Amino acid sequence: MKTIWFHMQGYRDLPDDFRDRYESIWVTPPNDELCHSPEVAKYLHWNLDELEMADDLGFDGLGLNEHHQNGYGFPISPNMIATVLARRKSNAALVVLGNTLPLYNPPIRVAEEFALLDCLSGGRLVAGFPVGSPMDTTGCYGIPPTQVRPRYYEAHDLIKQAWTRPGPFAFNGRFTKLRYVNPWPKPLQKPHPPIWLAGGGSVETWKFATDHDYTYSYLSFMGHKYAKVLMDGYWDSVARAGMDDNPYRAGFAQLVVVADTDAEAERIYLKHLRNFYSKSLYVAPHFGGVPGFMTKRSFEFQLSHRGASAFSFDFKPHEATWKQLVEDSRMVIGGSPATVAAQIEEAVRNIRVGHLMVILQIQSMDPELTAYSSGLFAEKVLPKIRGIWDKEGYTDRWWPQGATRNQPQVAHPSTKETYGEAKVPA
Amino acid sequence: MNTQTAQNIELPGGFAANPVIIKGEGAPVVYLHGPFGQEWDGFLDDLAKYRRVYAPANAGAQETDDLDQLDGFADLVLYYDDLFDQLGLERVDLVGHSFGAMVAAEYAATFRDRVRKLVLIDAMGLWHDDAPVADHLLVSPQNLVKLLYLDPSKPEVAAKLAMPSEHEAMNAAIVDRFGALASTAHFIHPIPERGLKRRLRRIKAETLVLWGAQDALVPPSYAAEFAALIPNARVEMIQGAGHVPQIEQRKLVSEQLAKFLDRN
């Protein structure tokens, strides 16, 4: 299994009475009241320090994403942060999950920047293509909800063609019209960097994944018990498409906290977990559930299946107990290294995941605590979970060709052909 | 809520049929609804006593995939032109509310000889930074009620806001509202201004601009601007009403409509 150290890049010091004063963590939390540039200047260096630390600790990949106007995570352009990381001598994957395609105009920009990153990093890039959240697309960037998916599909086609067809060629889309598609450069990886989809469980995205043989990552903060129904739905659609059950077709994000003992973990981390769940997930429903973001048919389906989830919970996040968060709901995986390793194995086998994105920096945690948790994870958990799925003999066809860390020592033939082994950073 | 029986009117171009509510006898009046969905409120019953009223649903509200063929108002007015053809209407009087008034104004500025009289009720379509039109889409239900109504405690407002209690009917109402909000946001999100200001001068129809004097969604200051830009227009402010004067002051609105539409 691959373990990716994922940084959400949130605002670490939100006021305690945030929920009482503001309607939402996303779209409208007023910047002048809440987002102080000197603090952000500090966080940005911390974020990069932490990502570089994770690289040094030997994680298989470093994960970044794109969000806007919110305290939960405002990485804005993950490509800018990834560029800093791409300069390091490293063999870890750079998992940019991803660029929110409908927000780029024209979207050829994504083809260019990802190609640049792929070249700079020596073919270590994962090209993530998320549709985007209603908050980012319809809320922050003003795209009519009914146009988000159509723009997404068109941008995808343009980028894929830009990477695989000889330029220049004309692209006549509904939203983007380009007479000369001819990006310099094309990606180092051939035919192109692995494309990963990410989403919150929409049926359309599953179908898109199987139509194109992409891997799909479910990004939730609710843990594997909650995710089970949705991930079963994804695996059913994979089976219906006649594809194999390779666990590397799936990724999953998981909050993890590690300490020497279970009790110590509760003592250290509970306040950070409460802070995260009470503030970061505090998205106003009118920003999260915008009419038209899904088709009317999907909405009707969802409405008629409301309450069908096998798992539900009702808790007040600011006073949630360790037992609720970790033991009962498994929203968070936490405790001693032995506990964490066992729970991760249970989780990834339950929902069949090959790419695990671990979130070890949880909003209000400072760099020292993040380093402590990540260090224990790298030293005592990683060795135990790295071999998951090895016995079954699955290969990861969605891993970047230049990301050779912990990989079989055979260079990918197409990578070798393209730029030779000597140029791959070791 | 729409408790009337609708006739499914087939449309060319691969669009889903439009369920037009038709009632009354007399010269035709078409009513274009606001962003929350097809409706048949009491003031349309008043109108149907002396006119034949046609109340269609917004394009794409039935089948959101239809919106893939509708890129902006230039396509939308053609959709309604086709619909009027299918209904056998040559010349119409056009009444629009809110988003529907923006569509009606665009239609009347494009097909200037096909509209005899035009009524715009609390119309979207103009924008000034010092009088922003509020956001009806990304807003909590509690705040939306405050944007729409001066006095939500009035029985007629409570009746308008009530949802069906029976499970299936409630789900159907939620789905209808989803389709309406999606199909209208498609044309106006995030700001309901698409250059209408430049086209209002083309409207030939005699125009009545009605406005709830306490409208908190679309500021009443836009009423005078519509009247100034449309060559033959006058304003009537409806006191004691917010964005939906036909609900909060049905009698006053019906009187204004009768006076304006019945005159010739």
- pLDDT tens string A160-197: 999 999 999 999 999 999 999 999 999 999 999 999 99
Decide if A292 and B190 are in contact by the 8 Å CB cutoff.
no
Weakest-pLDDT range from A191-205, A302-316, A400-414, B161-175: A302-316
Interface A–B counts its CB contacts (< 8 A) at 72
Q: Which residues in A lie closer than 8 A to residue B174 (C-beta atoms)?
A: 303
**A159 close contact with B: CB closer than 8 A:** no
Sheet holding B206-212, edge to edge: B6-9, B18-23, B52-55, B28-32, B92-97, B115-121, B206-212, B233-238
Report residue A241 as tokens.
């498409």
Q: How many domains does chain B have?
A: 1
pLDDT band for A306, please (50, 70, 90 cuts).
low
* Domain locations in chain A as residue ranges: 2-423
Which pLDDT does position A386 carry in this prediction? 96
Q: How far is B36 from chain A (nearest CA, A)?
A: 11
Angle among Cα A270, A274, A276 to the nearest 5 degrees reads 115
The residue range of the domain holding B224 is 6-261
**B139 close contact with A: CB closer than 8 A:** yes
Task: Tell me which of A28, A146, A303, A306 to substitute to probe the interface with B (most B C-beta atoms closer than 10 Å).
Answer: A146
For B182, which of A23, A143, A146 is closest by C-beta distance? Answer: A146
- Domain annotation covers residue B1: no
**What is the helix (H) or strand (E) element at residue B172, kind and residue range?**
helix B167-188
Q: Which residues in A lie closer than 8 A to residue B71 (C-beta atoms)?
A: 174
Which own/partner pairs from B237-241 qualify as long-range (CB within 8 Å, at least 24 positions apart)? B237/B211, B237/B212, B237/B213, B238/B210, B238/B211, B238/B212, B238/B213, B239/B213, B240/B150, B240/B151, B240/B213, B240/B214, B241/B150, B241/B212, B241/B213, B241/B214, B241/B215
Q: Which residues in A lie closer than 8 A to residue B134 (C-beta atoms)?
A: none
Q: Which residues in B lie closer than 8 A to residue A147 (C-beta atoms)?
A: 186
- Domain annotation covers residue B238: yes
Q: Is the pLDDT of residue A313 over 60?
A: no
Instruction: In whole angstroms, give the CA distance from residue A159 to residue A111.
Output: 5
Decide if B178 and A284 are in contact by the 8 Å CB cutoff.
no
Q: Which stretches does DSSP call E strand in A10-76? A: 61-64
**B125 close contact with A: CB closer than 8 A:** no
Q: How far is A331 from chain B (nearest CA, A)?
A: 28
For B181, which of A139, A292, A304 is closest by C-beta distance? Answer: A292
> CATH homologous superfamily of domain A2-423?
Luciferase-like domain (3.20.20.30)
Render pLDDT for B21-52 as a digit per residue (tens, 0 to 9): 999 999 999 999 999 999 999 999 999 999 99
Render pLDDT for B118-135 as a digit per residue (tens, 0 to 9): 999 999 999 999 999 999
- Domain annotation covers residue B212: yes
- Residues 6 or more apart whose Cβ sits within 8 Å of residue A34: A11, A14, A15, A18, A22, A71
Q: How far is B37 from chain A (nearest CA, A)?
A: 12
pLDDT band for A413, please (50, 70, 90 cuts).
very low
Residues A36-61 have a mean pLDDT of 98
**B147 close contact with A: CB closer than 8 A:** no
**B146 close contact with A: CB closer than 8 A:** no
pLDDT band for A309, please (50, 70, 90 cuts).
very low
Indicate the DSSP class of residue A138.
I
CA dihedral B126, B131, B137, B143 (to 10 degrees): -150
For A299, which of B175, B189, B190 is closest by C-beta distance? Answer: B175
- Residues 6 or more apart whose Cβ sits within 8 Å of residue A279: A14, A18, A19, A25, A71, A72, A363
Residue window 2-41, chain A: list those with CB within 8 Å of chain B: 23, 27
- Domain annotation covers residue B250: yes
Residues B203-225 have a mean pLDDT of 98
Q: How far is A407 from chain B (nearest CA, A)?
A: 45
